[in-house]
Amino acid sequence: MIVTVTVNAAVDRTLTVPNFQRGHRHRASDSLTLAGGKGINIARALKELGVPVVATGFAGGRTGTRIVEELTSEGILNDFVRIGDESRTSTAVVDRMAGTFTEINEWGPYVQADELLVLREKILYLARGATIVVFAGTLPRGVSESFYAEAIRDLNRLGVQTVLDGEGESLRLGTEAEPFLVSPNQREAEGLVGQEFQDEQDFVGALDRIAEMGARNVLITEESGCFALMREERALHRLHAVAPRVETVSPLGAGDVLLAGFLAARYAGRPIEDALRGAVAAGTAATLEVGAGRFAGRELGSLTAAVEVLDLEPVAAGAEAHPAR
């Protein structure tokens, strides 16, 4: 099975508000409440794709109870560590008329040292039956930026493949711990390598730099698809998977679904190019639905056929980088 770890889980509430404007009173035309956080979004998509998955992490207070109840109602297997402080709530506002999306996230709970120790022990226990363990999302207060790195090193010693999707210092330290796959979005990857991406060469250079930092494989998600550096049978592949154009309803969680699609395909033993096509198709389908981790399964066939996968050349030595602003 695949285990997903969401240290900063949330209740995600998405409101659909036509003609949304700051400073005005509105009435939502629709609302959706789901358990959320990157790891949970990935677990939801993996379940939809038919991959056995267990979600773990922290759940605190009434909000934490709601997170567990929501997951259970969806039939997503879960084993969360209960903590004393309250889990966070996130609110998103979708305006389909304007094509805009606004997200408001709380900081999350403060985690005690003994609670963190329980989670580390639970991850090691669940990893005994896992092929892959996915660490995804921000860290709540009280959790060291080295948490992902330490957990990845523990699992590397057990021979369990690890996947990391984080940001900031926790992403940098986690990448240096040599996970099997690192999967940041464009903004997170720019922060990791310290430069903005303005063209294809910047993405390719970032793939190589992140791999040099310690990641065995790299997947950078962006609005129009993904860039990937993959090692297979002693060969190194640099690829760009380009998504078909669609009318986006909500981008929330699309990158999480893309990663889940890739993991599901590799879990099933599909070749890298096929895995990238399926991943980008799933991520694109997710933009057609409201709610993170959800996607329009009926669209997968046509979208997969429309994804283009291109081989990339490595960046020439001495190529000029674009510094971050």
The CATH number of the domain holding residue 170 is: 3.40.1190.20
Please name the residue that has the structure tokens 């903590």: 83
Q: Is residue 320 part of a domain?
A: no
Per-residue pLDDT tens digits of the chain, which is 325 residues long? 999 999 999 999 988 888 888 888 888 888 888 999 999 999 999 999 999 999 999 999 999 999 999 999 999 999 999 999 999 999 888 887 777 778 888 888 999 999 999 999 999 999 999 999 999 999 999 999 999 999 999 999 999 999 999 999 999 999 999 999 999 999 999 999 999 998 999 999 999 999 999 999 999 999 889 999 999 878 899 999 999 999 888 788 899 999 999 999 988 889 999 999 999 999 999 988 888 888 878 888 899 999 999 999 887 665 554 544 4
Instruction: Give the whole-angstrom CA distance, residue 202 versus residue 211.
Output: 14
Is 318 among the domain residues?
Answer: no
The predicted model scores a pTM of 0.91
- What is the pLDDT at residue 316? 67
Note whether residue 324 is domain-resident: no
End-to-end CA distance of the chain: 42
At position 196, the amino acid (one-letter code) is E
The whole-angstrom separation of Cα 312 and Cα 169 is 29
Decide if 319 is inside a domain. Answer: no
| Domain coverage including residue 124 | 2-19+27-311
Kindly give, in sequence order, each residue whose CB lies less than 8 Å from that of residue 237, ignoring residues fewer than 6 positions away: 228, 229, 230, 231, 272, 311
Count of domains for the chain: 1
| Nearest C-alpha neighbor of 147 from the set 186, 117, 109, 182 | 117
Q: Which residue has the tokens 């998405």?
A: 14
Quick check: is 48 in a domain? yes
Q: Residue 58 falls within a domain, yes or no?
A: yes
CA–CA distance, 103 with 90 (Å, rounded to integer): 7
For the stretch 121-160, what's the b/e string if a residue is b when 16 or more beta carbons lie within 10 angstroms of its beta carbon?
ebbeebbeebebbbbbbbbbeebeebbbbebbbbbeeeeb
Is residue 208 one of the residues assigned to a domain? yes
